[in-house]
Amino acid sequence: MNRPAEYQVSDALSSKQKGDIAEARVAELIVLYGRRALSCYKPLSDDEGIDLIVKEKGTSLKTLYLQVKSRFRLSPPGSRSFVQTPAQDSIVDSYQMALVFVYFDPDKGDIHDKL
């Protein structure tokens, strides 16, 4: 489905802007569809590979740290393949840390149905 030109994702977006858009959408979906009441927080800096902090609402201090990796293009173009290679040093081996891979579909103007 091709959208009219006025609704197409801008080619002028920087990789930082694309990442911020994907992270915001992931946070929205977590809050909307979480099985429990959840809150999402975004750290002020991105120097430890943590893009979002997810916490159960209320008195619980249970937290999950997320690193969101996003793509706005499939590799190779026209395929259905999503290729993302995170830096080894950004991956923390902990049950509290998770990687979320997101394909932002420019034709839909939203992230793909399957995260």
Confidence of residue 64 (pLDDT cuts 50, 70, 90): very high
**Residues 50-73: what's their mean pLDDT?**
90
- Whether pLDDT at 112 is above 90: no
| Domains of the chain with bracketed CATH | 13-111 (3.40.1350)
The predicted-structure confidence for 70-87, as pLDDT tens digits, reads as follows 888 877 777 777 777 777
Give residue 16's pLDDT band: very low, low, confident or very high (50, 70, 90).
very high
Q: Which two tokens stand for residue 69?
A: 């990796």
pLDDT at 61 over 60: yes
Q: Is it the case that residue 26 has pLDDT exceeding 90?
A: yes
The band of 28, judged by pLDDT with boundaries at 50, 70 and 90, is very high
Q: How far is residue 89 CA from its own chain's centroid?
A: 19
Contacts for 18 with CB less than 8 Å, ≥ 6 apart: 70, 72, 104
**Phi then psi for 17, rounded to 5 degrees?**
-65, -40
pTM of the model: 0.81
